[in-house]
Amino acid sequence: MLPDRSRRKQIEQVVVTAEQMRQIEARIFAAGMPVAALMEKVGISIARRVQTLYPYPQVRRVGVLVGPGHNGGDALVVARELHFQGYEVLIYRPIAKLKELTNQHAQYAESLGIPHFEAIAPLQDCDLLIDGLFGFGMERQITEPIASDIHQLDRWSMPILSIDLPSGLHTDTGEVLGKAVKATRTFCLGLWKQGLLQDRALEYIGTVELIDFDIPTADIHAVLEAPKVKRVTSDLAIATLPLTRPPVTHKYKQGHLLLICGSRRYAGGALLTALGARASGVGMLSIAVPESLKPLLNAQLPEALVVGCPETDNGAIAQLDLPEGTDLESFQAIACGPGLTLEATPIIQGVLNNDCPLVLDADGLNILAILGTQKLSRRSSPTVLTPHAGEFKRLFPDAPSPMQDRISAVREAAQTSKAVVLLKGARTAIANPSGQVWINPESTPALARGGSGDVLTGLLGGLLAQATAQHISVDAIAACAAWWHSQAGILAERERTQIGVDAFTLTQFLIPVLHQSVG
């Protein structure tokens, strides 16, 4: 058995579907763990955590919503424990027919004199509600009268704590099945459920934490075969960062990144991409911009080699004018797109035809959408595409909608395009062509602001350029960049409020966040 800390770190990376969770539980039960014992263990862990977060007597009246399955069973164990700790517990039990084990707990709660109701109204004056209506067994639409009762909860103001998932959310896709509880907190049981990491679930889940109940890692590995879905934890991301260098090295050994970005109209995009790249620590940074942007870039990034390129009449890059003896394959990575405009189509065609690891963003993606993503399958070096949902739809019109099941969408896009696809959003999802998916589990809406994606492009380009000599997968690097970018946003928000995180400010928090995370 792994020491507890290391096991916990592994568990935090795992993401499961309902079916995978069922299979893992089935193995535990088949090995001899009684179902009732597991429910008891889970229920008691939840009750302890409730007592810490909502201590008696600050919180006195607790309403417990009990469904027909084992989610309801868990809730009844919590109800019983809280009753014995002095809380006044009231139970809402809208469905009479309960699974056997749940029914036994219901009978015992009745014998203790805990009142139960078929209607929701008697719970109106509770200080806290615990939602154990449905968990990962929920597959059908919620019907009346439960839908109306859940609607009623939206009008009440007490905190709601959901067990495993807010009732009514689909475990895998995060879809609302008719109506769903809007939780203040969710205690996800055992392993992270995929639906909790989907953007559309975020409005419902509140603050989420994992309640570990010691699932053996052997059972997890037995069920979860590659490709997997992984949460990008701090441990995973930090292990990928190029934090220490060998004592004997030089700038070109630390990666040479070429940025191709900007136009007279969109100068800021080039600057923000360059500042993101600077923070990555890349050994050498070259920046190709239209000639008229050269003074601006030189003034802001004195360390960079700024290549002024001939311009179109509208101020876009007309052709790359790299220094004598340099071609596109001289670089460890190229990142291009922000601010280019569609006039830069020949430039994108040129980089696609070259054999160098490539990050495409913004207009780079818009041009690729016109050229067709099948162009990518001919590249022998890795390509990373970093679309937001709008760009994604233009690039992959036949993939599932990125507004719905983002994990399926990004996986299919990566498989068909043979690129690593980083689908930006509240919970950025990254997939590689083999179907491995990473989800960045923490971020802040402070990042929903013009230019913050440009910062990510530069940061990712810089990490990619530094990693080519090492054996780190490109999707792991993209996941690491998404984590770093979000963590900088979170730190910037903490110091400057949610409205204080403009994209330039974000670049200034990229290094401080490492101090905090790495120590």
Ligand X SMILES: NC(=O)C1=CN([C@@H]2O[C@H](COP(=O)(O)OP(=O)(O)OC[C@H]3O[C@@H](n4cnc5c(N)ncnc54)[C@H](OP(=O)(O)O)[C@@H]3O)[C@@H](O)[C@H]2O)[C@@H](O)CC1
Q: Under the rule (CB under 6 A), what is the footprint of ligand ADP? A: 362, 388, 424-426, 428, 443-445, 447-448, 450-454, 456, 485
Is-contact 13 233, C-beta < 8 A? yes
Total number of residues shown for the chain: 519
Is-contact 446 492, C-beta < 8 A? yes
Q: Rule CB under 6 A: is residue 201 a binding residue for ligand X? A: no
Q: Which amino acid is at 452?
A: S
424 is in an annotated binding site: yes
Closest to 234 (Cα-Cα) out of 492, 506, 488? 488
Indicate the residue whose CB is closest to K ion.
167
Q: Which residues contact 213 (CB under 8 A, 6 or more apart)?
A: 38, 41, 42, 45, 189, 190
Interacting partner of 450 out of ligand ADP, ligand X, K ion, none (Cβ under 5 to 8 A depending on kind): ligand ADP
Interacting partner of 424 out of ligand ADP, K ion, ligand X, none (Cβ under 5 to 8 A depending on kind): ligand ADP
Interface with ligand X (CB under 6 A), residue from 137, 195, 339, 441 = 137
Alpha helices by DSSP H, 215-266: 217-223, 234-240
Return d(Cα 238, Cα 392) in angstroms, integer: 28
Return d(Cα 502, Cα 377) in angstroms, integer: 36
User: Token pair for residue 279?
Assistant: 């923070």
116-117 and 256-260 strand pairing: unpaired
**Most distant pair of Cα atoms in the chain: their distance:** 87
Distances, alpha carbon 332 to alpha carbons 12, 87, 362, 516, in Å: 33, 62, 21, 29
Q: Which residues bind K ion (CB under 5 A)?
A: 131, 162-163, 167
Closest to 66 (Cα-Cα) out of 105, 101, 93? 93
Shortest distance in whole angstroms from residue 87 CB to K ion = 19
Return d(Cα 376, Cα 128) in angstroms, integer: 53
From residue 54 to residue 83, the character string flagging contacts with ligand X as x (rule: CB under 6 A) and all else as - is: -------------xxxxxx-x---------
Interface with ligand X (CB under 6 A), residue from 62, 106, 176, 189 = 189
Shortest distance in whole angstroms from residue 71 CB to K ion = 5
Return d(Cα 44, Cα 79) in angstroms, integer: 10
Interacting partner of 131 out of K ion, ligand X, ligand ADP, none (Cβ under 5 to 8 A depending on kind): K ion
Shortest distance in whole angstroms from residue 11 CB to K ion = 20
Interacting partner of 453 out of K ion, ligand ADP, ligand X, none (Cβ under 5 to 8 A depending on kind): ligand ADP
Interacting partner of 237 out of ligand X, ligand ADP, K ion, none (Cβ under 5 to 8 A depending on kind): none
Interface with ligand X (CB under 6 A), residue from 14, 15, 16, 38 = 38
> 21 vs 279, which CB is nearer to ligand X?
21
Interacting partner of 445 out of ligand ADP, K ion, ligand X, none (Cβ under 5 to 8 A depending on kind): ligand ADP
Interacting partner of 343 out of ligand ADP, K ion, ligand X, none (Cβ under 5 to 8 A depending on kind): none
Quote the strand ranges of 34-153, DSSP E.
61-66, 88-92, 116-117, 128-132
Shortest distance in whole angstroms from residue 37 CB to ligand ADP = 40
Residue numbers of the site for ligand X (CB under 6 A)? Answer: 25, 35, 38-39, 42, 67-72, 74, 95, 99, 134-138, 140-143, 163-164, 189
Instruction: Please report, in range form, the residues annotated as the binding site.
Output: 70-74, 131, 135-141, 164, 167, 339, 388, 424-428, 453-454
